[in-house]
Structure formats: structure tokens, C-alpha cells
Amino acid sequence: FLVAATCLEWAVLVNGFFHLHDGTIYVDMGSLLGADFVAAAVLISYGAVLGKATPTQLIIMTILEIPIFAINEVIGRRFFGAIDMGDSMFVHAFGAYFGLGVSFMLQRRDVSTPKEGSSYRSDLFAMIGTVFLWLYWPSFNSGGASGDDQHRGVINTYLALCSCCVTAFAVSSLVHPEKKFNMVHIQNSTLAGGVAIGTAADLMIQPWGSILVGMIAGFISV
């Protein structure tokens, strides 16, 4: 919670530096929404280092990651013209690979600890977060759009999430030796459709396209 709050404040300043208006950083709903997206990328990165990094290391990681995130987004959007309405590339992919890089730097080849894994209780509480993320993912993918683009973002994300959820449950049961659902699969794979469709959420890809993307994402994620 402390790190997330720090991330939001630092992100407003860093993003504002790259979007100056007459030498002034303006704070509005758009800048706050952008800071939320940056915080999401940082928290995704944390998933790769939990159990390995100390609170101080997490703070340092946050301070360093946000400027790199901002530079990466500016290069992608301004110079390459990348379209990423749901920030699947700039938030999820960036956060994942940045976290993997930090995890590689912090790893100890001769030491293993149970803190790097999860427990039944933590998995159970994590499902609460999964449910809320699943419910509000359409607003995440469409929050930066307006008009018809926003409507398409909600519809495409909704369809992708539904098909992904059904596929994830089915595949999780099939690959389990006892034909049971795996909690880790359900936590993560049910959200894969929302991430996968994020880049093209505001585009006219047809309902069957959204459903297909969700199914493929759920299958691969499991």
C-alpha cells in the first residue's frame, strides 16, 4: 500500500515532465488515470520479486522503473505510433519483463525459500482480487477512450473475458491429474483475455474476434 501510494505520486511528476504545457505540469483526471496505469505496471513487476526483495529494494525498484516506463511509452506512442488502448504492451508486457529482469538480478542460485511460493490462504485471498479485476477490467481497457471507441472497448473486453474464463476453467480441469480446478490457473488465466484484447479493445474486430482472442489467451495462459 505504501509503495503503491509512492508510485502514484512519483508517476504524476514523471509523466507530467514528458507532457509539459508551457513549462507547467498540469494535474487532471487524465494524469491521475495515467498514474494508475503506471502503478499497475509496477505492481505487475512486483509479482516476479515477491519473497526475494526487501521493502527498501521495492521502493528503489519503483523509483527506477517509473522513468523507464515513461520513456518506453513515449518512444512507442510518439515515434512508432503504437496503438495500445488497454495498455497491454506498455503496462502488462513492460511490467512483466521488467520484473523478470529485476528477479534475475536478485536471484540466489544456492538458496531457495518457501517465501517465494504461495500458500492456500494467500491463494484464497488473492481470488478476491481476481474477482474485482475481472469485474472492472472493461473499464480499465476503455477508460482512456471516448464515444464509440469506449463502447467498443467495453464490449470487446467483456466478450474476451467471458470466453477466456470458460476456457481457463475447462483447460485447468483437463490438465489436472484428478480433473480438478487449479487455484493458480483460475487466479491468472481468467484475466488473460482482458490483457490480450487490451491492445485492440477499441478497434472493430467483431464479436467473434473478441471471443476467439479470449479463448486463445485462456488456453495458452493455463
Please tell me the number of Cα atoms within 13 Å of 131 on its side-chain side.
7
What pLDDT shows up at residue 53?
83
Q: Is the pLDDT of residue 68 over 90?
A: yes
Q: What is the pLDDT of residues 164-213, one digit of tens each?
A: 999 999 998 898 888 888 888 888 889 999 999 998 888 998 999 999 99
- In the prediction, which pLDDT does 116 show? 57
If you write DSSP's letter for every residue of 1-56 in order, what string do you get?
-HHHHHHHHHHHHHHHHHT-BTTB---SHHHHHHHHHHHHHHHHHHTTTTTTS-HH
pLDDT at 97: 94
Mean pLDDT computed over 6-28: 86
Grid look-up 520484473 returns 99
Confidence of residue 96 (pLDDT cuts 50, 70, 90): very high
* pTM of the complete model: 0.84
- Domain residue extents for the chain: 2-115, 118-221
115 confidence band (pLDDT: 50, 70, 90):
low
Q: How far apart are CA 33 and CA 80, in angstroms?
A: 23
DSSP string, 193-222: HHHHHHTTTTS---HHHHHHHHHHHHHHH-
Task: Give percent above pLDDT 90 in the chain.
Answer: 39
Residue 110 clears pLDDT 80, i.e. is over it: no
Using an 8 Å Cβ cutoff, are 50 and 3 in contact?
no
Burial-class residue 174 by CB neighbours within 10 Å (0-12, 13-18, 19+). exposed
For residues 194 and 136, give the distance between their C-alpha atoms in angstroms, rounded to a whole number. 10
The answer, yes or no, to whether residue 108 has pLDDT greater than 80, is no
pLDDT band at 25 (very low <50, low <70, confident <90, very high): confident
Asked if 146 and 134 count as a contact pair (C-beta separation under 8 A), the reply is no
Percent of the chain predicted with pLDDT > 70? 94
Average pLDDT over residues 44-68: 89
Residue 67: band (very low, low, confident or very high) from pLDDT cuts 50, 70, 90: very high
More confident residue, 78 or 22: 78
